[in-house]
Amino acid sequence: MTQLVSLSVARGTEESGITFQNFDVPFTEGMSVLDALIWIRANTDPSLAVRYSCINANACKECSVMVDGEVTYACTARLTPQGAKVEPLEGKTVVRDLVTDILPSKEHLSALFKKGR
């Protein structure tokens, strides 16, 4: 029988408010939090918003999240049999669920200047 672990995942936007939804995920020793989030999207809730771009693990930084209160990469954080609480990065604008606006402020300003504002 497959062991299930529970992930408590932040859902929503800053406008709608953030709530937590629990998902039971099949556990495999050594699996990453990102593996579990991808499993949730494929098997339970395709509307879960999570950003990743795994060309080179621990290099792109797109999957940065908070796992059990610690800033980490979902691709390198290992899931334990106790499960995890997964939240968007603190201090960043939440676009939806686990996706935050990760561009530095100066890049936002640069885009505005290019548009002639």
* DSSP one-letter string for 51-72: ----SSTTTS-TTEEEETTEEE
**pLDDT tens profile 77-96:** 999 999 999 999 998 889 99
Residue 84 pairs in a beta bridge with: 7
pTM for the model stands at 0.83
44/27 Cα distance (integer angstroms): 15
**Structure confidence at residue 16 (pLDDT):** 93
**Structure confidence at residue 82 (pLDDT):** 96
| Under 8 Å between Cβ of 77 and 67 | yes
The DSSP letter of residue 60 is S
Architecture of domain 4-114: Roll (3.10)
